[in-house]
Each structure stands twice: as structure tokens, then as C-alpha cells.
Structure 1
């Protein structure tokens, strides 16, 4: 899968040394505590141990800040690498930090476009609408009278992310030498996360992803991706149209019909992206999906995105069709075809295929309300881990994207049928036919 970029491996050594000293001291203390608790349990792990460790890691990542907040958020979706009880605790990692000064924001904008901010915007609100680890967003009005949302990168965050990505790779190399982690793809995972971190700080790349997603989803009525203002975008500033009156996806003041409609439209959009375009939004948590009052969903934040290779897209689409059609034999072959880690010396291909076939057969036989992407993904990745195999990111990332979105769906639209909604898209790809257009959303509420 093509990633968002390639972070530099060589940060400022002075800054890196200071940061490394702090990070290593904190992580070292955590390792000592974790090993001590594990030794008291006779080096046997159970659900309570992983839950405790997940809470500890969550606290540490939030304390370290910088890229580690993002690393924690990404790692909390990696059910193909880490135990589920640990990841469940890590899903509460938040990305909220105090805003930086408006004078700094104005200076960043002026420097980005080499002119005074008054010539960039007719009006610029000094009070940010939102603030996170990477950036904060301000309301502005362009000289043409258009209302705008201006995303300004936090000063110093690019260098901090570069340092943290470098440290993450070094820590992964150390972990990979330990017996417990030798079969886990820790180095590859660290490298992948490092690339994703680079994409979070490069707003030129993010604007390009946003335009690509907007174009790819133009056929879906009611699905909104804000239009970027290209001549007001740079590596540090991303300007887009301002959408007033947005509501969080879990806002209980909205009619239930509006929220259910938003869920269905967003799920179909995800299927269009994955099965037709090979595009993956890796960060579809509730903070990146909003609603306008009639229930039309708005997708935001395109820093964590990727694109499957054509072969990966076709195989993944075929794999989903195999689940729906209970073709467990072909599904097992696809899983093996898309594995990137070499099998261990004791790998038994026939036994591996039998286990995969059992997982697929069980999923295919379930009624819609009983089929859970989460359960299926955990069992599928569990088989791969037992045989020391790792799926390519072009196979694992679409599943993990669906897994994250399913967590939202189950709370707001528990009866939505994942498999039935996917079928028109995978069949259209299989037979190169067009699906029927979706109904205009707001008109039928």
C-alpha cells in the first residue's frame, strides 16, 4: 500500500538527544514495572494483565505527548499485532492540547504565503475553533467573501514528530531482538507508523489526499468532503471551505433517523473508497465524522490515508465476496497470497488453510445482526500470528478501517448489515458493472 510519505530518519541530534533521554527514562520505568508485575504472575499473561498494561501505556503515551499520542491512536487499532484486551484500554487516548497563541498562528500564515495576513484573509478569528497535537483550526473570511476554515500547523511539531519517529524505529529494532517479539512485525509496524506521522505534519500531502477523496466520493449524494482552497494551502497551512452548524456524530440532540442515515451513507462511502478506488481513510473515529442538521455526513482530517495497489484492491474485494458467498477455500488462498512475512520453518500450509477456512465459514454462516467485523478480524489475525505470518498493509488496513468504524456503528446503528451493504460494491468490481445510484439523503428524512 502506498503510504502518505517517508519521514526523515535524521533529526536534529541535539533535540533528539534531549527527547530520547526523556522518552527512554519514561519507557524504561514502564518496562521495569511491567516486567515486575509479570514476574509476580509467574510470567503468565491473562486478560487482567493486558488490561492493566493497556491502561499504563495509555497514561504514558499521553504523558509523552508529541508523536506518541498519535502512535497510541494508531497502535490502538492494530489487532493484527497486539492483544485485544490491551488495545481496548488504549482506545481512550485523546488528542486535545491547549492552543498556541494567535500571534504565532498569524506569523505562520504570513510566512507560509510571504505576505501579511491581512492580504491573505479579509478577516481572521484569533480564537481557534479546535486544537490538537498537530494543528489548530481558525475561522476566517477570504477576500472574495467566502467563509473558510484554516488549519495551522503547531510550531515545532514536524521536528518533534521526526525525532519521535526516529526513536520509535530504534526502540522497534531493540524490541525485535527480544525473544517475545521476534515473530512480530515490530520494525515494519514502526516504519509504517513513522510514514503516517510524516503525513500528519505535511499539509501539502494532506490537501492532496483531501482532493482525491472528494473527487472519489463525488458520486455519493449527501456525502460531504470540504473543498480545499488550493492557493491558500502550504506545508504549514491547509485552508478549506467552512461548514457551519456541524454536529458530532454522537450528538444525542440530532434525530435518530439523521444519525442512522449518516451511518449508512458513510459506510457506503467507505465501500466505494475501498472496493472501487482502493483508498483507505485510516482515522475514521467520531472526531473526524460530523453531521449537518439534515443528517448528511462530513468527513474530515485526511492526514492518515493510504492507497492500495491494484492487485491488493482486487484481492481484497474478492476476499470480501468469498466471505459473503462462503467460499472459504478461495478466501484461505487469498490470505496466504497477501501475506508479506515469510512462513516459519515449522509452517504447515494445510493446517493454516484449515484454520482460515473455519474462520471464514463461521463468519459466512452468521446472521447479519450476529456478524461482527471485530470478532472476525481478531480470529483472522489470531491465526496469522500463530503461524508467524503478517498480512500486507493493503490487506490489514482496510479491515482495520472497517473495524474502527464498526465500533461507532454498533452504538448508533446496531442492525446495519455489513455484508449486505458490501455486496453491490464487490459484485460490481467482480463483474465490472455499475451499482444503482444512492437516493438523495436529506429528501427522504
Structure 2
């Protein structure tokens, strides 16, 4: 039963699956559930909803974007995180959905201290009271995956204990299995020309979420950021206390600072708000351009301003990575936009297209020129960065060009940074901050040191190729001589056709069987052979009954599929 979800593992998976479908139907997403071709469970969910239809009339009047956000919040931590992932993908959802998903809240009622204390004891191997001078039972913050408590080490230093909620791993594992199953069904019923694979998206989400659940990975990211910005006068990264950390517990230096969106508090502390906006943007752009490792969720709750004016980033569970090649392409892309150079833009974009896709280059150049003309002469204050980025991503989608997930994450982070900057300074513009960083990166790329390193890498690659080429050629020739050389060809896009043909042949076989039963039973009735029942041959009546049942079953199957 429902093998795609492996629901035979436990009954909780089945209950959770039905709950998810009921919530989706409750919030008016019947059409999404219908695309999964699970009519039986859809009807069960609808029956559950009809019982409370009067209470749902207010929901129906809400915009679809808001209903989606509310549904994800009701479904819990896994779906909230999935919604946050979708909010970084303007290539998948319209701008109105992206803006609404950015409002997803991950605040829940805190667990009682007894449950957290037991989890701390499990992770630390001893009661927390024996390892810390004090631990405050009242949490500083509580979310669906973890909650944070203030503590003090025996040497007097203040720390923050980020501890996972007990049992959260099992909840997330169940939800991920269900999400992957639903994504598989959606992929089987979607257009094969789609650039985005739902199954691939969920599998990438599974990977990132499990990384986020492992607090040691967040601790390593913190240490990398702390090393990258050691001695920096504008950015501070809290210290990790490894002796008190594990996969489910992260102990950090406690940061006392003013939230970056607390404008009154910042003014009282004597901070220059426009300077803070510029400094914060430069700190983030330095992460992107110079280190290739950036904070993936720089919302106001994750940014503090210290008394000395340094900006402190918190919560490194979500980080983005840009390798050297991707940073170079990003720099060329931005420089092409600044210079209004469609040839440079097209060259960069063509490197990101799938190998199998054909692109109309003149049409791409025309669309790029129109896009640049829309923004080139416009004053910077009038440019909406979010609109600019979403329009550019939509342009790429029209030409079957897909950027990596980390670039999508960067897009969201840049929009968030600009939003914070404009709250601090209404005249702030992110593009003004980006241009000098891009030029500095390109200048570094042309330096003798960088060119020498690139040349050395190319020579090493060609030497490796020259070393392996004779062996590879000899292997191919040996296989040709022994008639063991094989080429595997795969024809994609036939799965749905084969499935539909299989379904049609099954229905045709049933029809032949039913017809044969009717004809055979009619012959028996005509001859009057065999035992009698109600004055008619019993075998004939049995044949008619079986034919009627099979015919009813076939009719129900055809009608439920919606295809006569």
C-alpha cells in the first residue's frame, strides 16, 4: 500500500500523510493534491474538511500566498524549513509568493525545562548543573527545532546553549519521506520539459536540512567565518566552545548587542545608521566576493550591533558556498550589467545552460538588451533590487538557463541585506556597494599572482591528461578488438507513455474478459445445460454476476481517473 512512501514502517507515517493532505485541502490547495493522482486520499481529506466547512469560509477569502504560508506553519518544522527554501527560489514561484514565504515564522511554545535538562544531560554526559556555573531555565528563544538558554561557565564567561528538541529527528525523517514521495508523484505527472525536478528539489532539501540538524557543521562554519574575519574592525563572529558542543548541542559565546532593526536603540547608543547600512553591506559582500562563503539567512533577528559598532552575525545553520569559478562568473555577470555588454552576459549565461538544451542566441541577446535598457538610465533610488533580480531570473527561465541553488540563496540574502540597509538609511542602494567589490575582484583576477596560479593549475591538469591518455586509448582499442565495446542509449520521456499504454492494455483485457463471460454465459443459458437456479442455468447466472462485478469495477476505475 503506497509503496512510494514506505508507509509500512509505522502507523505514524500514515497518520501524518493524511494530516498533510487534509491541511492542504483545508487551505484550498485541492488542485495541487489532484496533480498527485491520489484520488482516494484526496476524497478522504475532502470529507474531513466538509465537516468543518463553516469554520473555513474566512480562509477562502485570503490570498493564495497567505494560505500557503499558514498551511506550512501549521504543518510544522520540516514544512516551515521547506517554505524558507522555496523563498530563495524566484525561479520556481512568483514574486508575491516569495515575499509571503519570507514571513514564515518559526516560533513555538518552549518545552519545559525538565525535557531540555534531560537532553542536555544526554549530550554532555553529565547534568548541566555540574558543568556550568548557572543555567537559566527560561529560554532566550524557542523554535521548532531548537531552543536557546543562557548559561555561565565556571570561569565567569556567559554562553548561549542551543539545544535540539527531543524527538525532532524522528518527526523530520517522517516528513522528509512523505515529501519525497509526494515529489515523486508530482514529477511523474508534470511536464517533462520543466527545468526543475520536484524530486531533485526535495532531495537537495533533505541534504541541507540534515546538515542544519548537525550542529557540529554549524560550529565548523562559525569557525571558518571567525578565521576569515579575524581582526576585522567591522564584523565579529562569536566563539564556539567545543568542549560543550555536540551534534544536538551548540555552545556559543553569548552576544549582548542591539538588534539591527531597533532604530531607536541604535540611535540611543550613538550609532550612525547610514554608516551601519554601508558597513553591513560591505561585510556581507566581503563574504561573497573574497571568501566564497556567506551567511544564508541575514534577517534582522540574526544581526546584532555591538557597543563598539561592530556587526555580529548569528545562526550559521544556513550558509552558501561559491567556488572560484562561480565567483568569477558572477563578477562577469554583474560587470556585464554595469557595462551594458550583452555579449559578456550571454557568454556567462551560456555556460550555465544544460548540455542538452538548445538556446536561440539572437533572442537571448535581444531580451538581455531590453532588460538592461529598462534599468540602465533609471536613478539608483528608483531601482527595486528584488524586482530586478526576479525579472532577470524569469528571463533565464524563458531561455532554459538554470542557476545553482547557492546563487538563488545569494539572491534572497542580497534582497534581505538591501531591505535592512534601507530601513537604516532610506537613501541606501545595494548596487552602489556591489560595483566596487566586483571591480576589485576582477582586478585580483588579472594580478600576476592569480594568473600564475591559474596557469600552474592548467599545466597540472594537462599533465594528468597526458599521463592517462595512452592507457585510456589502449583500453578502448582492446575493447573494440574483442567486440566488447558497448554504448548505452537511454530514451527519456517515455515513462508516462508506457504507463498509460499499460493502463489502457489492462482495461482492454478486462473488456475482453467481460465480453467473453457475457457471451459464454449467454450460450449456457440458451442450451439450458447444468444445474438450474430460478429456472435458469446456475453457471450462466454465475458468469453474468462475475461480468457485472468486473464491469462495475472497470467503470469506477475509468470514471475516477476523469478520462472517459
TM-score range, shorter chain: 0.7 to 0.9
Deviation per CA, 1:235-283, whole angstroms, max 9, x where unpaired? 0110111122433524433219544333222211111111111113221
Structure-2 residue corresponding to 1:62:
73
Structure-1 residue corresponding to 2:323:
309
2:121 pairs with one of 110, 117, 122: 110
1:264 pairs with one of 265, 278, 289: 278
Query: Which has more radius of gyration?
Result: 2
Q: Tell me, what secondary structure is at the counterpart of 1:69? A: helix
Structure-2 residue corresponding to 1:75:
86
1:125 pairs with one of 123, 133, 136: 136
Q: Distance in 1 between matches of 2:354 and 2:232?
A: 34
Q: Distance in 2 between matches of 1:402 and 1:10?
A: 40
How much does 1:152 deviate?
0.7
Match runs of 1:352-391 below 5 Å: 352-391=364-403
How much does 1:316 deviate?
1.1
How much does 1:133 deviate?
1.4
**Is the contact between residue 309 and residue 394 of structure 1 (CA under 8 Å) also seen in structure 2?**
no
2:180 pairs with one of 151, 156, 169: 169
> Compared with structure 1, are the counterparts of its residues 413 and 378 closer, same or farther at alpha carbon in structure 2 (3 Å cutoff)?
same
Q: Tell me, what secondary structure is at the counterpart of 1:290? A: strand
> Compared with structure 1, are the counterparts of its residues 35 and 167 closer, same or farther at alpha carbon in structure 2 (3 Å cutoff)?
closer
**Is the contact between residue 353 and residue 400 of structure 2 (CA under 8 Å) also seen in structure 1?**
no
1:291 pairs with one of 301, 305, 308: 305
Deviation per CA, 1:138-185, whole angstroms, max 9, x where unpaired? 110112211111111111222222222232222222223334685141
Q: Distance in 2 between matches of 1:305 and 1:194?
A: 15
1:13 aligns with 2:9: yes
**Is the contact between residue 139 and residue 147 of structure 2 (CA under 8 Å) also seen in structure 1?**
yes
Structure-2 residue corresponding to 1:440:
none
Q: Distance in 1 between matches of 2:434 and 2:216?
A: 32
Q: Distance in 2 between matches of 1:405 and 1:167?
A: 34
Structure-2 residue corresponding to 1:236:
248
1:300 aligns with 2:314: yes
1:430 pairs with one of 442, 448, 453: 442
Match runs of 1:101-250 below 5 Å: 101-179=112-190, 183-185=194-196, 186-218=198-230, 220-250=232-262
Structure-1 residue corresponding to 2:109:
98
> Compared with structure 1, are the counterparts of its residues 28 and 51 closer, same or farther at alpha carbon in structure 2 (3 Å cutoff)?
closer
Match runs of 1:388-403 below 5 Å: 388-403=400-415
Deviation per CA, 1:361-397, whole angstroms, max 9, x where unpaired? 5444433222332122111111122233321224333
> Compared with structure 1, are the counterparts of its residues 217 and 248 closer, same or farther at alpha carbon in structure 2 (3 Å cutoff)?
same
> Compared with structure 1, are the counterparts of its residues 246 and 420 closer, same or farther at alpha carbon in structure 2 (3 Å cutoff)?
closer
Q: Distance in 2 between matches of 1:231 and 1:170?
A: 40
Query: How many residues were matched structurally?
Result: 412
Q: Distance in 2 between matches of 1:123 and 1:374?
A: 45
1:330 aligns with 2:344: yes
Deviation per CA, 1:123-143, whole angstroms, max 9, x where unpaired? 111111111111111110112
> Compared with structure 1, are the counterparts of its residues 421 and 98 closer, same or farther at alpha carbon in structure 2 (3 Å cutoff)?
same
TM-align CA RMSD: 2.9
> Compared with structure 1, are the counterparts of its residues 431 and 270 closer, same or farther at alpha carbon in structure 2 (3 Å cutoff)?
same
How much does 1:301 deviate?
0.7
1:253 aligns with 2:265: yes
Instruction: Tell me the TM-score normalized by structure 2.
Output: 0.67
**Is the contact between residue 134 and residue 200 of structure 1 (CA under 8 Å) also seen in structure 2?**
no
> Compared with structure 1, are the counterparts of its residues 431 and 210 closer, same or farther at alpha carbon in structure 2 (3 Å cutoff)?
same
Structure-2 residue corresponding to 1:26:
23
**Is the contact between residue 324 and residue 419 of structure 1 (CA under 8 Å) also seen in structure 2?**
no
Q: Distance in 1 between matches of 2:61 and 2:230?
A: 43
How much does 1:63 deviate?
0.8
Q: Distance in 2 between matches of 1:271 and 1:50?
A: 42
**Is there any run of 5+ residues in structure 2 with no aligned partner, and where?**
35-59, 447-564
How much does 1:191 deviate?
2.4
**Is the contact between residue 149 and residue 242 of structure 1 (CA under 8 Å) also seen in structure 2?**
yes
> Compared with structure 1, are the counterparts of its residues 35 and 149 closer, same or farther at alpha carbon in structure 2 (3 Å cutoff)?
closer
Q: Tell me, what secondary structure is at the counterpart of 1:254? A: helix
Structure-2 residue corresponding to 1:442:
none
More helix by share: 2
1:404 aligns with 2:436: no
Q: Distance in 2 between matches of 1:145 and 1:11?
A: 51
Structure-2 residue corresponding to 1:44:
none
> Compared with structure 1, are the counterparts of its residues 341 and 123 closer, same or farther at alpha carbon in structure 2 (3 Å cutoff)?
farther
> Compared with structure 1, are the counterparts of its residues 402 and 50 closer, same or farther at alpha carbon in structure 2 (3 Å cutoff)?
farther
Deviation per CA, 1:203-254, whole angstroms, max 9, x where unpaired? 0111111111222233531312211112211101101111224335244332
1:88 aligns with 2:85: no
Structure-1 residue corresponding to 2:505:
none
Q: Distance in 1 between matches of 2:366 and 2:231?
A: 41
**Is there any run of 5+ residues in structure 1 with no aligned partner, and where?**
1-8, 37-48, 435-445
